[in-house]
């Protein structure tokens, strides 16, 4: 049986929660200050004609803005020629969280996936997963778009358009892409947290999040693939012999 917190009366519980709330508010304000600094970063120009492949064939980076002023692109990892079950559970987890785009659009922001694999194969994955965000293959341009960074790693990149010119304003990777997520923040509010081994937790807390891919991969597949299969959706990416 997993360990549990000590039991206290309501007054003791609330007093310690009030102490924690002070730290939570300081954390929120620190995040606001970092966001303010992010808005003051310089930007670097990117070739607006950099080619991508989308629904209508070859397009440009400028086209991916869909006429809006800003663009957020998630660079999804891809294992070319591999079946759906072997695609990246982390990218499936994070990219799959972005579903309601109308609020971004109302703010003049387009969200799109720039997959690092071929279009026809990878767009089948998007359709299998039931995602509806704009989808492009950046396979032939990823070295240019991610210059100086580790190609093949997931990245989140922000762009600004000024007429026909495009500028990169921010990028992040690793835990930075948690901005896309709502599951981890909810887990962080629970007593057992993410159940990862790296977390500073009391002795005896469960670490199921660090076992065999944790919650990202279940029974040999990214966890969110199972409901799609159970609903009868095909995971054929055209890679089967």
For the chain, the structural domain boundaries read 44-173+222-230
Residues 184-235 pLDDT 10s:
999 999 999 999 999 999 999 999 988 877 899 999 999 999 999 999 999 9
Q: In whole angstroms, how far apart are CA 102 and each of 37, 40, 183? A: 27, 26, 21
Q: What is the pLDDT of residue 219?
A: 92
Single pTM value for the model: 0.95
CA 84 to chain CA mean position, Å:
18
Hey, is 67 helix, strand or coil?
A: coil
What share of the chain has pLDDT > 70, as a percent?
100
Say yes or no: domain 44-173+222-230 is CATH 3.40.30.10.
yes
Nearest to 118 by CA among 85, 141, 93, 145: 141
The Cα-based distances of 229 to 12, 51, 63 in angstroms read 48, 33, 33
Structure-model confidence comparison of residues 240 and 45, the more confident one: 45
Query: DSSP 3-state assignment of 186?
Result: helix
């Amino acid at each position: 049986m997993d360990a549990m917190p000590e039991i206290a009366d309501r007054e003791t519980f609330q007093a310690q929660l009030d102490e924690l709330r002070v730290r939570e508010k300081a954390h929120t304000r620190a995040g606001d200050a970092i966001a303010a600094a992010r808005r003051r970063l310089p930007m670097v120009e990117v070739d607006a004609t950099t080619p991508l492949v989308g629904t209508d064939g070859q397009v440009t980076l400028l086209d991916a803005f869909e006429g809006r002023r800003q663009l957020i692109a998630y660079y999804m990892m891809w294992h070319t020629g591999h079946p759906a079950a072997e695609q990246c559970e982390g990218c499936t987890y994070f990219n799959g969280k972005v579903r309601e785009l109308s609020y971004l659009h109302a703010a003049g922001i387009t969200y799109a996936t720039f997959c690092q694999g071929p279009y026809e194969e990878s767009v089948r994955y998007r359709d299998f997963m039931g995602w509806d965000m704009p989808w492009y293959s950046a396979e032939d341009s990823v070295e240019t778009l991610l210059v100086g960074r580790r190609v093949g790693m997931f990245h989140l990149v922000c762009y600004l358009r000024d007429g026909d010119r495009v500028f990169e304003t921010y990028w992040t990777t690793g835990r930075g892409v948690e901005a896309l997520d709502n599951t981890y923040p909810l887990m962080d509010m629970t007593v057992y947290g993410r159940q990862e081994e790296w977390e500073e937790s009391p002795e005896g807390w469960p670490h199921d999040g660090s076992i065999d891919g944790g919650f990202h991969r279940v029974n040999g597949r990214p966890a969110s693939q199972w409901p799609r299969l159970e609903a009868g959706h095909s995971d054929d990416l055209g890679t089967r012999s």
